[in-house]
Amino acid sequence: MNTADAKRVLETALICSQQPLPVRELRVLFNDELGADTIKSLLQDLQNDWTPRGVELVSVATGWRFQSRPELREYLDRLHPEKPPRYSRATLETLAIIAYRQPVTRGDMEDIRGVTINSLILKQLEDRGWVEVIGHRETVGRPALFATTKQFLDDLGIESLDQLPVSDNGSGQAGMLDALNTLDDASQPALPMAEPLADAVLVPGDALDAHDTAHESAPATLLADTPVGDETTPLNGTHA
């Protein structure tokens, strides 16, 4: 098989896939006759081939995928003007604490936010697939340790936590929370060969943390002043 044919096989598999595909799975397309380095080289060639187009090939935490470019999002949003309910600020601040301070316990999060965290907030983030329990701290009560998931990285369109950009100014926190709040806006329909992922069911913030309303703007300065970059829309129907 020549290079052009191999690239066409990879391109087709990635466009048709609902999920990012890691190199090890892409090798299966060629009966493992092509090594990992060869596959990566072909993927980089494909990235260059798609540079002038509205869709880009990117590497995220769980593999490679095609997605729309962020600068085209405003146009794609017009196809689906109705947005799902947004997460409450308390939920987003909790997620931000986990992302930048992980692994952390619920007590750690409450110390940083300065307010009790409703257990439904953590359940909501777990149900969304953004956080998970990775162990327990060896102390009284053995509290659960929370960390973000690969799905969280995929939805942000990055490969690792090291790629979370850090801001040196005070506006970073607000920018990060705003970015996280748009992650669930599925604004691009799936291709005909792929089933679109269902929108997450969001619980209104008032229902999750009514007792926390007076503290919605509390301790943002205690979090890393770190904005997340513009999200993108993968071809499978979810945002990066």
What CATH number did the domain enclosing 61 receive? Answer: 1.10.10.10
* Position 180 in a domain: yes
* Position 43 in a domain: yes
CA angle 23, 27, 32 (to 5 degrees): 140
* Position 240 in a domain: no
- Using a cut of 0.85, tell me whether the model's pTM lies above it: no
For the chain, 240 residues long, give each residue's pLDDT as a single digit of tens. Answer: 899 999 999 999 999 998 999 999 999 999 989 999 999 999 999 999 999 899 999 999 889 999 999 899 889 888 877 766 678 888 888 998 999 899 999 999 999 989 999 999 999 999 999 999 999 999 998 999 999 999 898 888 888 888 876 655 444 455 555 556 555 544 333 333 333 333 333 333 333 343 343 344 334 333 443 333 334 445 444 443
d(CA 191, CA 17): 10
Q: How far is CA 99 from CA 5, 39, 112, 203, in A?
A: 41, 31, 13, 21
Residue 96: domain span: 79-234
d(CA 224, CA 46): 36
- Residue pair 79/188 in contact (Cβ under 8 Å)? The answer is yes
Is 124 found in the same domain as 30?
Answer: no
d(CA 43, CA 157): 17
Q: How many domains does the chain have?
A: 2
Is 159 found in the same domain as 68?
Answer: no
Give me the residue label for tokens 């952390």. Answer: 104
